[in-house]
A and B are shown apart, each in its own frame.
Chain A
């Protein structure tokens, strides 16, 4: 048994060590050096880290804060939104499921050059659809991506629209909920709501848990939207942590410093994930552990 276990996991163990852990360790070492990618790294102790915490680096706390705001909005909204979408798409009476599923996945497929144009139009303060809508309802219009207050929520809205991957994972999970359970519940006279909360949700907890973990890991590392839509602006209000790392590493050429910044993010995500795993024992239902 153990031999088979190791054998089956061997490719992934090898790959993990070679392609991921080795480079990670290298970057951990580099985080204690002055490394500008073109010089020989020079050991400088904790300097890269102290520069962050003592405020010498003016962007650190700001980008942490901006990223936290994004994560706190994006993770729960993303989970609820995609779960509901998947659930509706999976209802028995829906016709044209194939078409609907493909359409809901489209935002993930269409390249950013096209979708960013759409968003620039939707968010446009003068001519945009969102503001025309607000105007029609006599609600004050917003500056969306172009104001420090609303830029993060606007990017959250954009990211919710491209939730296709999470929806698909939930859909795949819903296929695995045994029909017999629903049939038994109907015999017991359960209504739609009770079926949803007593069968669908508990049976889906391993997948919900997966999407919670991956959603958090992904949200902490949000990057592309900042790069394409705002370049961190206005006034650093969307300088997400990962964008900040990229800028340090490749625009400023400060690879050692960037590594230190990245390892702090690593620790934060690790702690958050560990907390989720701790709590998971009380709410995630694994069939195989019964």
Chain B
């Protein structure tokens, strides 16, 4: 009996405590709006913009600080909305519930398809009206367009791809360092030969040795995420779709050849870990000398810079031509915003490399503006003399991205998510050595064909 009463009392007091807490919190909520009372516009109406974004600790800090500086400078309130995971689920519910943020990061696939439904603002009129803004100042490859003239934004940052390697391992093996200039890029056979020299079995024999045992590899010459196969495909003159946007490009001879060559690195030349072997490799394979060279986007430099090894960079080995991939995700303004002009001001502010310098200097981002790639004074601010941007970076990444950067399918291929849902399982079969690239890609071509809807922005 006593216990029952105690239980009831406990329950009751919990309810009371909770009510108090909740009321306390909702009154707290009022305060920030009043905090910046001095910044009110002349009409007395305080404008608040919601800016949604993702990112780990450093990105979160840099972006939040930039937003605060914007607040101070303009008197426009900004509510940062940092979404730590499942970004697109959160944004989808917000847009469906008609409570979308004013502007923010987006993923490319959903971004372009939402734009077609009119959920994102066309920035062209805003850009034309703005005398301080010149579209030509920004890289040509960073723009997202659903159709000519309907620009939904530019990429949050530029992400060029390149070769990254552990310099000491190459020097020890007597391998010449990867070239940093496009016209000197390794051709595929040279690349394989060097990769073989850098691949060692448990007895220390390299992959050129006739005694080499491919079942007991201790050190791989080259690791890459095979689902990033687009870099090889574009270097071979192919692309995800055919040039006219009506055919499945990966199943064309150039695409198949490039993908087969990647698979051969694992199953013929034994210089790259198979997906199974990758599961046993640590995240930090370069530092721990399990892997000598890898391919990744610019962002990886930030993590490598925090590790203790002698990082080197170079241009990607080429199949037919030397080029690189340029990846990204758009920053957009939602059409539901009540303050498009102010949102544009903030948009422009966040696209300015100066405002997000710590991310650029730290190796996570590459800047959006062209002069940051050409003006020596600006280059000095980020790409010279720091650990994330080793010697050769200006050629291998900056120049290569600017001059030979080919956009990833995410920028322009329509219906990409659904096509990829067919392509990924088919490539599973290639990367696990069960089928040749030709069998797998020709096999899904009839299913992919009806999903092909061409390119955005053409």
Binding site for B on A (CB under 8 A): 36-39, 58-59, 120, 124-127, 143, 146, 232-236, 247, 250-253, 255
Contact = CB atoms under 8 A, between A and B. Distances in A.
Interface string B442-458: 00000100000000000
B276 A251 contact: no
A64 to B, nearest CB: 17
B421 to A, nearest CB: 7
Given A126-B276, A233-B425, A252 B95 contact: no
B279 A120 contact: yes
Given A38-B117, A38-B119, A247 B280 contact: no
Nearest to A247: B421
A247 B109 CA distance: 13
Given A233-B428, A250-B89, A253-B92, 17 more contacts: A36-B113, A36-B117, A37-B96, A38-B95, A38-B114, A38-B117, A38-B119, A39-B117, A58-B422, A120-B279, A125-B280, A146-B276, A234-B432, A235-B425, A235-B426, A235-B429, A251-B88
Instruction: Among A36, A146, A235, find the residue whose CB has the most chain B CB atoms closer than 10 A.
Output: A235
B277 A126 contact: yes
Interface in B415-431: 417-418, 421-422, 424-426, 428-429
Nearest to B110: A253
Which 7 residue pairs of A and B lie closest in terms of their CB atoms, listed nearest first?
A: A235-B425, A38-B117, A234-B428, A37-B96, A235-B428, A126-B280, A38-B119
Contact of B424 (A143, A233, A255): A233
A60 B35 CA distance: 54
Nearest to A236: B425
A1 to B, nearest CB: 22
B275 interface: yes
A37 B275 CA distance: 36
Contact of B279 (A38, A125, A233, A235): A125
B425 A124 contact: no
Interface of B: 88-89, 92, 95-96, 109-110, 113-114, 117, 119, 275-277, 279-280, 417-418, 421-422, 424-426, 428-429, 432, 447
Contacts of A125: 276, 279-280
Contacts of A143: 276
A234 B276 contact: no
23 contacts: A36-B113, A38-B95, A38-B96, A38-B113, A38-B114, A58-B422, A120-B279, A124-B279, A125-B276, A126-B276, A233-B424, A233-B425, A233-B428, A234-B425, A234-B432, A235-B426, A247-B421, A250-B88, A250-B89, A251-B109, A251-B417, A253-B113, A253-B114
Instruction: Among B96, B113, B279, B447, find the residue whose CB has the most chain A CB atoms closer than 10 A.
Output: B279
A151 to B, nearest CB: 11
A236 to B, nearest CB: 5
B425 A37 contact: no
A266 to B, nearest CB: 21
A101 B114 CA distance: 50
Contacts, number: 58
A250 B110 CA distance: 9
B447 A58 contact: yes
A36 B96 CA distance: 9
Nearest to A58: B447
B201 to A, nearest CB: 14
A229 to B, nearest CB: 11
Contacts of B95: 37-38
A37 B92 contact: yes
- A interface SS class: loop
Nearest to B100: A38
Nearest to B114: A38
A67 to B, nearest CB: 17
A58 B425 CA distance: 12
A18 B363 CA distance: 50
A39 B115 CA distance: 11
A126 B113 CA distance: 42
Nearest to B431: A234
Nearest to A249: B92
A127 B96 contact: no
Contacts of B117: 36, 38-39
A15 B177 CA distance: 67
Contacts of B421: 59, 247, 252
A119 B418 CA distance: 30
Instruction: Among B92, B109, B119, B425, find the residue whose CB has the most chain A CB atoms closer than 10 A.
Output: B425
A125 B215 CA distance: 12
A59 B276 CA distance: 25
Contacts of A236: 425
A285 to B, nearest CB: 28
Nearest to B90: A250
Contacts of B428: 233-235
Contacts of A39: 117
Contacts of B88: 250-251
A252 B422 contact: no
Contacts of A253: 92, 110, 113-114
A255 B247 CA distance: 28
A38 B429 CA distance: 35
Nearest to A39: B117
Nearest to B92: A37
Contacts of B425: 232-236
A120 B280 CA distance: 9
Contacts of B426: 235
A58 B450 CA distance: 12
Contacts of A59: 421
Contacts of A58: 422, 447
Contacts of B418: 252
Contacts of B109: 251
A252 B88 CA distance: 11
Contacts of B424: 233
B141 to A, nearest CB: 25
Contact of B92 (A120, A127, A234, A250): A250
Contact of B280 (A127, A235, A255): A127
Contacts of A146: 275-276, 279, 432
A72 to B, nearest CB: 23
Instruction: Among A146, A232, A251, find the residue whose CB has the most chain B CB atoms closer than 10 A.
Output: A251
Contacts of A36: 113, 117
A36 B415 CA distance: 13
B335 to A, nearest CB: 10
Nearest to B95: A38
A135 to B, nearest CB: 14
Contacts of B447: 58
A143 B426 CA distance: 19
A286 to B, nearest CB: 25
